Every structure is written in structure tokens, then in C-alpha cells.
Structure 1
Amino acid sequence: MTHKAFRYEQVVNKIEEIIFGLQLQPGDKVPSVRKVSGDLKVSLTTVNQAYNILEAKGLISPRAKSGYYISSWSKNTIKRTDNGFLLLPEDVAVNTMATTMIRNTRKYGVINFSSLSPVNEFLPITRLNKALNAAMKDSDNQNFQYTFPEGHPALIKQISLHSMDWPRSLPMDEIQVTNGCMEAISLCLDAVTKAGDIVAIESPVYAGILQALESKGLKALGISVDPQTGINLDELELALNTHRIAAVICMPVCQNPMGTSMPEGNKIRLVNMLATKNIPLIEDDALGDLHFATSRPLPAKAYDEHQNVMYCSSFSKSLSPGFRIGWVSAGKYHSQVEKLKFAINISTNTLFQDTLSRYMENGHFNAHLKSLRANVQRQMVKYRNAILKYFPENISMSNPKGGYSLWLELPGKVNALDLQRQALRQGIGFCPGHIFSAGKGFPNFIRINCCPLWTSRIDDALKTLGHIVSSLS
């Protein structure tokens, strides 16, 4: 079964292909509504709807009585870089650095661009509180006892229902509730690897993945990430044929830190490539619901006909970071994951599981996600425009398909650690590129999370940060 886009989404994708293919530059005119309508044989209403979406994304902007033009959103986009050679597996040594950076940012960063979580203003706190009160007052309350090791049955049902639109949805008996997405990933690693094994990862990659590999004595093999199509599958295939790889960890949708999402064909190729070699794919889908597309890009798990994908996700990035509720559906490895979960901590917080299930049963979740995505996208447009305004012109920046982050390449002379030290003195925290690589990669890259609610203070902080970057370059 193939996921079909709506007509207006097809128009959106077509125009994005032209923009991202660098056939159009900022200031260039986009084909008129009438021309696109005629070329693609769709209605004027469909094209107008598509152009409204592109305008909301910041990719195009209207000019009175003139039409639409490419906006500054597409300016200075991160380009794909090919090393021309395959890197060797590396021992990971990032825990101390990452922990110190996070601690310093929280201690000294009055404006914190490093935290990857939604602000309270974007969360349904009133409805969650109502669900929490109901869970606590239930006369037949078992929420103060251990729940089933696999998780609260009501929440497992809601997680399964949330995947009903996939070609291959998640069966209830193949879902294990965890303490966030990182515990899910950690359990998967414990189930299929041992100390000294090689794990292929994206490069750049979320620092928490590197910390997990380091704590387990695993070696990391970085595979480059294309800004438009995600993990480089040709490079990965070469790595699989060159090294004895125990597992692959990947974020096919809304990759952290770049925000890229893999095309459907690439996800299918990835799933089949690994299934053929019987190498498990640990899929991190923590940010998948934060996509900016008109319909939800399907995870790789949706195409898993071989039970080889170990799917990990959570509610931390979409509903309640503090609840720390995640889950895993590990396919043919699921029984090993269940045993490991029970051995480590028996089960996950029962009260919070019941709270989330009650909230989702009331039918509010999808409406909340739609609102959250719109709010995050508006935030990102403001952050991105401020960066383009205040930072040097020779920076490059990711063009995310979703998530909370912007990935910036600074002028070559700028060392992100030097920038961080100076920024912390001004009360500004962010994540330097060093912690997204097992080795010493990305020294002049930084990740800016667009999570703090936009205010004049945020604008001032980005202006200050831009001035520091200029002084260092």
C-alpha cells in the first residue's frame, strides 16, 4: 500500500523540488497560480491552497499585483557534502563533554536554545490536568500499583490506534511502554548488541545516541546525512559490505539536528536493505509527529514486512516532556526487549500512562498536534529570519521538514566551543556541533532550538549571538 498525497500536497512537493533543487534563488518569481493550474491540470483553488502552505512555511512570499517570489527562507541552505571515503568505526567519548555543556547551559544560559522540548504555552495543560485528576480519583484505581510490565492496556490501545493509518500498523501485543524514547533505544541496543560491536549512525546525530553507545562500549560508524533525503543510503550500503555492523540507528522523519525527512522510496530501500542482511534498524521517531507536511510522513516501521525494525517513539516532544512516557515496537526482537525492561525497572509510571490514555480517548490529540505544528512552524520562521538578519551572510542553515531545530554552519574560522564560551557570558546557551559527532566533526556548526517562545528577548539574544559570530569570523 502506498501513501497517497492530496492534490494540493503534490503541488507543494513539486514547487519545493524546484526550490530545493536550487533551480530558483531568493527573489526569483514562482510560476503563476494559473500556469501551475494548467501545467499540473489541477484547479485554481488547489494551487492557491498549496501556495498558502508554502507561504506559511516561509518558502515563498506574495508581492501585490505581481505574484509569488522565493523568500529568504531558502537562502543559505545547508548543502550536501561528500567525504569521498568511508570513515572507520570510532570509540565514542562524548558523555563528559555533552553533560558539561548541558549543565553549563542550564546554569548560565538565561536564554536557552539547547533544550529540545515544547514550551508550556503550546501544551494542553488544562486538559492534561483534568485527565490526571480523573486518573487519581477513579474509584477502582490501580494507578498507585505496578501496572503490567508491557504498559497500561488503555495507553497501549491508544498508541496502536495512532498508527492505524500506516500500511502496517502497530499491534497492541507488540508495544512496550518505556521511560521516554531514549530508554526504548537503549533497550533495543541491549537486545541486539554487545560491547565492542559496531553500530552505524547518522552524522550528525542526536548527542543522546552517542551517550548511549559510549555507556555500552559500542563503536560508532558515522554515515553522512543529506539535507534533503536523509541518511546516505549508498554510503550505508558500502559500510554494510565493508564492516560487521550489529545495528543501524536512524531518524527517517524530522532528523535531529538537521530536520530532514527521507522520501518514501528511500525509507523502503533502507528497510529492505537491512532486512536482507538481517541487521536490525533501530528507528528513532521521537519527532515524527512534528512534521511540517500536510500529511504525516510515514516512519520506516510502516513498511516493515520482515519484523526487522525496532520502532521507538514518545510523547515527550509532543505532549508532556515531564511525564517521560515512550514506547517501542521491536518486531521479532520484541520478547528480548520485554525481558530487559522488566529486569531493569519492571514498568513505567502507571498514573501518567493512565492520564495520557484518558486524554487521547477524548479525541483531543490530533487537534493538539495540528495546533502544535503550526505554532512551532511560526516560531521557526521568526527564528530563521532573525538569524538571516543578524548573522554573517556566509553562514549556511538547514531547511527543516519538521522538529524544533535549526542546524547552522558558521564561517570556517569560528570554533563552536569558543562561541559557546562567549555566549554563556552573555547568558545565551546552545548546542555546539562537537556533541553531534563521535569524532571531532562539525567544529563550526551549532544547533539552535526554536523552542523558547518568541519575544523581544529572543530577538535580542539572536542579535547578540550573531554579533559574537561576526567578531569570531
Structure 2
Amino acid sequence: MAKYENLVEQIRDQIQNEIWKVGDKLPSLRKQTEVSGMSLMTVLHAYQVLESQGWIVSHARSGYFVAPKVQYLSAKTLDVTVQTTENIDINDFIFEVLQANRTPYIVDFGSVYPDPKLYPRHQVNKSLMAAARTMPTSSALDNLPPGNEELRQLIAKRYAAQGISVHPEEIVITAGALEALNLSLQAVTQAGDWVVVESPTFYGALQSLQRLNLRALSVRTHPQDGIDLDSLEKALQSHSVKACWLMTNHQNPLGCTLSNDKKKRLIELLAKYNVFLIEDDVYSELYFGGQKPLPAKAFDQQGMTMHCSSFSKSLVAGFRIGWVAAGKMALPIQKLQLMSTLSASAPIQLALAKYLSTRNYENHLRQLRRKLEQRKFAMWQLLRSYFPPNVSVNYSEGGYFLWAELPEHLDATELYQRALKDNISIAPGKMFSASKQFNHCFRLNSSFECSESEEIAIKRLAELIQNMMDE
């Protein structure tokens, strides 16, 4: 056994025996070198192996910590592998929660958007003003579906940077990612069709299925590993599924990311059953570490994947510009868009093309990722300090969501209602499922700076949870 393997095994055993507990900082590389007598490169190699295996995580300028893979969702929660829902009725509750989150002075842990202070508002506004000054009279026609040519080319280049070949003609610019997802769904389904979603899933998927009178097959999804592919195959075997609406990177609400092996197997599985993939990938730019995760579309050779994303989570929410790399469905999606919204905003498309042609976007993304990583870890530590020990919080590398699970007899919707009276919002689990399976869970937005007001809000949430336990 190589020296680095001995160190890997030693530290792994120490973590399993809770000598090093979740969140603890490991000895620095230099300190570990002194203690073990190994070279700096050997210790670094061992730490990198432990990180790749998920035992530890690194934080810039802070060192290595025991990975916060705490208390996965209870086995009972994950017992249901595939759940059928023929009549989805969730829109009223989602509308109620989203409206309540607009209360003034609220501590908005329930928001779906990152802290708006993280956006480069002034730079983007300058691009918008420049676009407005130079916008040609033909811009309305030039920006009809599939959308602004320069913007589509710039997006195609971003795919190429990951080694993914997407022709600009395959890309359709939309009014946000949700329009891209809805148009993709409409293009491949009819009322009454079965569509696979994750369990839990993004509430926008449930709203879309409800609006289009589609039937849901909710497939068990693990908070660290993502969708259960064996359960997915059972669903494909037992039902005539037309499409899967899945989030493969930094899933909302769990935060999980599929491995490349699982993405490849997912594509192979859907090709076997001739099922379209609608890939909701709006958080892929918000990764931690050195490498952007690939979309499942990278493994698709048949054009059956409609890869949907936007700039709303990574750049600015208010512009509402997204796109779909639609494969063989590009033309049908363009026709559907012409019959609905006609096109995305021409001046906003021009402004984004102008901004993306500079280096400002990459500089902004680097800063954004660093801040999101710092804030997520800081909030996770606060939750770990204040929440009762029988409340589990799932941490994932990337994005800005934390998924919490209360004891099963408690109702997170009741917690949400109590917290709202103290001007604190959370996203209750009822939003993310057509069943009652996740009613004891809730999602928290970790993108806001952990200031005094946020810490006070977390302490108050902990008190409310303890009160519910004591009743």
C-alpha cells in the first residue's frame, strides 16, 4: 500500500470513529507533514483523495474540514421509490408562500433567488444603456425566435468550453429558464401523458404539470446521490413516459449533483425507452471547486435532451433571459414560442450579448462562487450550533440551498406560519411534492451574509422548532 493510501485509510477511520467530527478542521498540510513524517506532496495527494471520496471538503484560505454529510434523510422518508399523481393541485399553496415572502423587512430564507447584492448591477445596467443607444430599428425582427444571433453564439461558445458541441441554431432564447422548460414540456407531451420528476422536486415543475394536465411519476431522489436510477427504470417499464424533468446539477431543493457516471447512465436509460430529457440546469455556474459540472446533455448523442438554463441565478434575476439547447426539438419550440410570448425582450438580449462579450462575466462568477461557498458553510455551521440535534441539515457542494428535516411528526408548514409572524420565511417541504411525503422538511437559502439579523433569525427558528417538539 502506498504511503498516501495509508494516510487516507488512517484519516477515514478517524472520521468514522468520530475522532474528527463533521465540520472539524483537519491539521494543515504542513502540520500533517510534521506529524506523519510524509512529504508535503504525499499529504496533499491523500487530502485530495479524501476530498474526491467525499470525506473532507476544502475551503479557500481556510484549510480542510470534515465533510458535512450529516444525517441523510431518514430511511422511512426514502422508502417510496416511485409515486404516481394523476391530479396535481399545488399551485394555490405555492402562490400563497411566494406572496407571503414579499413582506417588508423579512429575513428571506425562503427565497429561490441569491442575495441581489451579489449581482454586478452597475456593469449590467451600463450594458443595457449602451444596447438601448445603439439598438437598430430592425432589432424586433432580428431578435425573434430563435433569438439574438450574437447571444446564441456566445452561449454556444460556453458549451464548447466544456467540450460540448451545440450549434447556435439549436439554441432558442427564452423569457427566463421557466419558459424554456415549459416550451420543452409542451413540445413533447399532450394532456394526460406521464412525466417523471424527482422526489422532492422544484415546485415549478409541479405547477407546469398541473397547468398542462399532465400526470406525475415522482422518483425517489437522494440528497447526496440524486435520482435513484433503478427506481427510474421501474417507472419507465411500468408507465408510458414521454419526458423526464430533472435537475442534474445542484438540484432544487436538495442541492445534490449527479456524478458523470450517473448522468451517462441516465442518458442511456432514457434512450433505451425513447424518453425525452428536459434538463433544468440553472445552477450549474454556482459550483464550488475548480471544475464546472457537465450537464447530462454532454453524454447525449441522439438530440433527445433539451438543456435549459438562464442568467437569473448567476447574473441578474430581473432580466428574465434564459435559453434551451433543444436538440431535434429546436424548431417545434420556436413555433410554440411564437404562439405564446412571441420572443424574449430584444434590448435585454442585446445588453446580455454586449456584457458577455467582455471578461466581466467570468470575473463576476469567480467572486460569486467564492462568496456563496463561504456563506453556505457559515450558515450550515450556525444551523448545526443552534438547531436541536434531531433536526438534520443536508449540505452539498455548490448552489445555495440547505435542506432540513424535522422529526416526522412535525409539520414544516406550521413552522413556516409561525416563523412568518416573526418576519422569517422558509420554503416548506409541501411546496416540493404533490404528496405529503416531505411535509416535515424545509429548504433554506444560504446566499445571504450571516449578519447579526440572520443569526438572530436562525436562533428564533431553532426556538420555534424546539417549542413544536415540546408541545
TM-score with structure 2 setting the length: 0.88
What's the CA shift string for 1:33-70, capped at 9, x where partnerless?
Answer: 54999999956566678999934189xx76xxxxx663
Establish whether residue 328 from structure 1 lines up as the match of residue 324 from structure 2: yes
1:85 Cα deviation from its structure 2 partner:
5.3
Match of 1:374 among 370, 373, 384: 370
Report the more deviating stretch, 84-93 or 169-178.
84-93
CA distance in 2: counterparts of 1:278 and 1:39, whole angstroms: 53
Structure 2 counterpart of 1:170, one-letter code: V
SS in 2 for 1:313: strand
Match of 2:453 in 1: 457
Match of 2:356 in 1: 360
Structure 1 counterpart of 2:96, one-letter code: T
| Superposition pairs of residues 54-133 of structure 1, within 5 angstroms | 54-56=57-59, 70=66, 73-78=68-73, 82-83=78-79, 86-107=82-103, 110-133=106-129
1:411 Cα deviation from its structure 2 partner:
1.9
Report the more deviating stretch, 114-123 or 227-236.
114-123
CA distance in 2: counterparts of 1:368 and 1:151, whole angstroms: 25
1:107 Cα deviation from its structure 2 partner:
2.9
| Superposition pairs of residues 46-445 of structure 1, within 5 angstroms | 54-56=57-59, 70=66, 73-78=68-73, 82-83=78-79, 86-107=82-103, 110-138=106-134, 140=136, 142-143=138-139, 147-445=143-441
Aligned residue pairs: how many? 452
For the Cα contact (< 8 Å) 1:92–1:439, is it kept in 2?
no
Match of 1:5 in 2: none
* Inter-CA distance 454–41: structure 2 relative to 1 (3 Å threshold): closer
Structure 1 counterpart of 2:256, one-letter code: T
* Inter-CA distance 43–367: structure 2 relative to 1 (3 Å threshold): farther
For the Cα contact (< 8 Å) 1:109–1:429, is it kept in 2?
no
Match of 1:8 in 2: none
Match of 2:21 in 1: 26
Indicate the percent of aligned positions where both proteins have the same amino acid. Answer: 33
For the Cα contact (< 8 Å) 1:116–1:404, is it kept in 2?
no
For the Cα contact (< 8 Å) 1:116–1:449, is it kept in 2?
yes
For the Cα contact (< 8 Å) 1:410–1:444, is it kept in 2?
yes
For the Cα contact (< 8 Å) 1:341–1:347, is it kept in 2?
yes
Report the more deviating stretch, 102-111 or 297-306.
102-111
Structure 1 counterpart of 2:348, one-letter code: F
1:452 Cα deviation from its structure 2 partner:
3.0
What's the CA shift string for 1:304-346, capped at 9, x where partnerless?
Answer: 1111101100000000100000000111122111110111122
SS in 2 for 1:306: coil
For the Cα contact (< 8 Å) 2:403–2:442, is it kept in 1?
yes
1:18 Cα deviation from its structure 2 partner:
5.7
- Aligned CA RMSD, in angstroms, stands at 3.1
TM-score with structure 1 setting the length: 0.87
Report the more deviating stretch, 31-40 or 162-171.
31-40
SS in 1 for 2:318: helix
For the Cα contact (< 8 Å) 1:57–1:377, is it kept in 2?
no
1:236 Cα deviation from its structure 2 partner:
0.0
Structure 2 counterpart of 1:54, one-letter code: V
SS in 2 for 1:54: strand
* Inter-CA distance 370–22: structure 2 relative to 1 (3 Å threshold): farther
**Which blocks of at least 5 consecutive residues in structure 2 are unaligned?**
none
* Inter-CA distance 293–37: structure 2 relative to 1 (3 Å threshold): farther
Structure 1 counterpart of 2:21, one-letter code: P
**Which blocks of at least 5 consecutive residues in structure 1 are unaligned?**
1-10, 63-67
What's the CA shift string for 1:10-50, capped at 9, x where partnerless?
Answer: x9xx99x969x968661688697549999999565666789
Structure 2 counterpart of 1:198, one-letter code: W
